[in-house]
């Protein structure tokens, strides 16, 4: 899961850390938060879906023996030293042609992946009996969330090691940013509500799939076929996860259309806060906005992608055709189905704004300024 949000749309929360240490309050804004918004009787719905999850969702988690592992893509550390060093040198030759801006976006994605403890906590804070009550529960919802976490864990591991070996990244600043981010958590407003939570994760997995696919293409264009393969392989995982979460929402639309439509409307028609939004490196108070802006400018994740993802989900879940809704559900349906047309108008303004931004990143080693990204 990842990815940079459209803070370029101008609706994101900006924040300034008051002090740069973990115990300091990490945000200056506070607003009243709704929590545990799901009516308790809805728990029965999630209980009734347990066998369906076993049949239709768990097969989307790959058995460990069939999974790739980070070391498959990295210099082989079991080789004799000189052969290992040769492989590291090959990696450094391949990555020499990657623009700094590309590296900065890849680092930002990797840091977001590395905040995985936050996302597993997020799943386990959902109501409805979908959380892992014991830490090793046999409930199919819990089995899925642990399997998902275990698969996701490889993404940050692989990207972080690869970036370390390039020699082009200030790993201490990267590691500090990861520690800050996990310490800060995330505040995405899904109210411990599994209806909203699974809509959110559907969107996030798709966003990550799209951005990783783009990173794969750009790496290939710049001559690093291994990195291209890495990003493409991670994108394939994200796609599988996207399918799982979309399938859950599709099923919820079938069994409880009104509650699900309201949740979809609340998430997709609102400001979708991204999981790494509290990213901080101890230096740049607008780090996440800067990361998002560069991701947008080099085309890894753009406002257009954001809007396309909304459109995709509206189509995927056939939201315009859902029937059996109460008046509240019908209102939610109208709002979400009309949302994309409304925000398309903001796209041009957002594009203009990011074109002017030239942030620097502490993550990039020995560089005063992030170089312009030029298409080959």
List residues forming the annotated binding site for Fe cation.
113, 152, 155, 205, 238, 241
Measure the CA–CA gap between 205 and 340, rounded to whole angstroms: 19
Q: Token pair of 308, please?
A: 């396309």
Name which of residues 165 to 224 contact Fe ion (CB under 5 A).
205, 208
- How wide is the angle at C-alpha 164 spanned by C-alphas 2 and 223, nearest 5°? 80
Judge whether 334 counts as a catalytic residue: no
Percent helix / strand / coil, the chain, rounded to 5: 65, 0, 35
Judge whether 221 counts as a catalytic residue: no
**In the complex, minimum distance from the CB of residue 123 to Fe ion, in angstroms, rounded to a whole number:** 12
Among 42, 94, 154, 155, binds Fe ion (CB under 5 A): 155
Measure the CA–CA gap between 237 and 166, rounded to whole angstroms: 24
Q: Which of 114, 127, 132, 205 is catalytic?
A: 205
Measure the CA–CA gap between 182 and 186, rounded to whole angstroms: 8
For Fe ion, the nearest residue by Cβ is: 1
Judge whether 205 counts as a catalytic residue: yes
Judge whether 71 counts as a catalytic residue: no
**For the chain, what is the largest distance between any 2 Cα atoms, rounded to a whole number of angstroms?**
70
- Residue ranges of the binding site: 113, 152, 155, 205, 238, 241
Among 101, 238, 246, 305, binds Fe ion (CB under 5 A): 238
38 versus 196: smaller Cβ distance to Fe ion: 196
Judge whether 170 counts as a catalytic residue: no
Judge whether 155 counts as a catalytic residue: yes
The answer to whether 295 and 108 have CB atoms below 8 angstroms apart is yes
CA-to-CA dists, residue 4 to 85, 156, 353, angstroms: 34, 15, 16
Please choose, out of 26-34, 73-81, 230-238, 323-331, the segment that lies near Fe ion by the rule CB under 5 A: 230-238
Total interface residues for Fe ion by CB under 5 A: 8
The answer to whether 198 and 248 have CB atoms below 8 angstroms apart is yes
Measure the CA–CA gap between 180 and 262, rounded to whole angstroms: 34
Please choose, out of 83-91, 139-147, 237-245, 270-278, the segment that lies near Fe ion by the rule CB under 5 A: 237-245
**In the complex, minimum distance from the CB of residue 232 to Fe ion, in angstroms, rounded to a whole number:** 13
Q: Does 152 bind Fe ion (CB under 5 A)?
A: yes
Q: Does 157 bind Fe ion (CB under 5 A)?
A: no
Counting every residue written for the chain, the total comes to 376
The answer to whether 280 and 287 have CB atoms below 8 angstroms apart is yes
Q: Does 1 bind Fe ion (CB under 5 A)?
A: yes
The answer to whether 112 and 186 have CB atoms below 8 angstroms apart is no
Q: Which of 101, 113, 127, 284 is catalytic?
A: 113
200 versus 363: smaller Cβ distance to Fe ion: 200
Measure the CA–CA gap between 80 and 91, rounded to whole angstroms: 17
Judge whether 95 counts as a catalytic residue: no
Q: Does 114 bind Fe ion (CB under 5 A)?
A: no
Judge whether 21 counts as a catalytic residue: no
String of contacts with Fe ion for each residue 94-113, x by CB under 5 A? -------------------x
Judge whether 68 counts as a catalytic residue: yes
The tokens 């768990």 sit on which residue? Answer: 58
**In the complex, minimum distance from the CB of residue 141 to Fe ion, in angstroms, rounded to a whole number:** 17
Using CB under 5 A, list all residues that contact Fe ion: 1, 113, 152, 155, 205, 208, 238, 241
């Amino acid at each position: 899961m990842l990815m940079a949000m459209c803070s370029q749309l101008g609706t994101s929360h900006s924040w300034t850390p008051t002090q740069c240490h973990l115990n300091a309050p990490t945000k200056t804004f506070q607003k009243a938060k709704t929590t545990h918004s799901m009516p308790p009787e809805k728990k029965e719905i999630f209980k009734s879906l347990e066998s369906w999850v076993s049949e239709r969702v768990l097969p989307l988690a790959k058995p460990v023996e069939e999974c790739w592992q980070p070391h498959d893509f990295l210099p082989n550390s079991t080789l004799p030293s000189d052969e290992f060093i040769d492989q590291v040198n090959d990696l450094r030759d391949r990555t020499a042609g990657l623009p700094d801006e590309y590296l900065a976006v890849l680092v930002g994605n990797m840091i977001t992946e590395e905040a995985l403890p936050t996302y597993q906590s997020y799943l386990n804070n959902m109501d409805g009996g979908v959380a892992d009550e014991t830490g090793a529960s046999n409930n199919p919802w819990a089995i899925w969330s642990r399997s998902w976490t275990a698969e996701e864990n490889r993404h940050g591991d692989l990207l972080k090691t690869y970036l370390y070996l390039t020699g082009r990244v200030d790993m201490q600043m990267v590691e500090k940013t990861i520690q800050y981010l996990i310490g800060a958590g995330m505040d995405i407003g899904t109210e411990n509500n599994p209806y909203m939570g699974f809509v959110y994760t559907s969107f996030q997995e798709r966003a990550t799939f799209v951005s990783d696919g783009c990173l794969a293409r750009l790496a290939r264009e710049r001559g690093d076929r291994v990195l291209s393969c890495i990003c493409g392989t991670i994108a394939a995982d994200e796609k599988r996860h996207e399918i799982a979460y979309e399938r859950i929402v599709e099923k919820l639309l079938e069994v409880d259309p009104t509650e699900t439509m309201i949740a979809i409307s609340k998430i997709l028609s609102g400001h979708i806060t991204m999981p790494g939004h509290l990213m901080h490196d101890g230096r740049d108070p607008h780090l996440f906005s800067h990361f998002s802006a560069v991701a947008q400018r080099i085309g890894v994740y753009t406002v257009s992608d954001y809007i396309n993802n909304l459109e995709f989900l509206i189509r995927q879940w056939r939201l315009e055709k859902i029937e059996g809704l109460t008046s509240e559900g019908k209102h939610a349906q109208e709002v979400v189905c009309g949302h994309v047309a409304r925000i398309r108008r903001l796209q041009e303004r957002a594009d203009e704004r990011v074109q002017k931004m030239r942030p620097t990143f502490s993550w990039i080693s020995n560089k005063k300024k992030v170089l312009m990204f030029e298409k080959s």
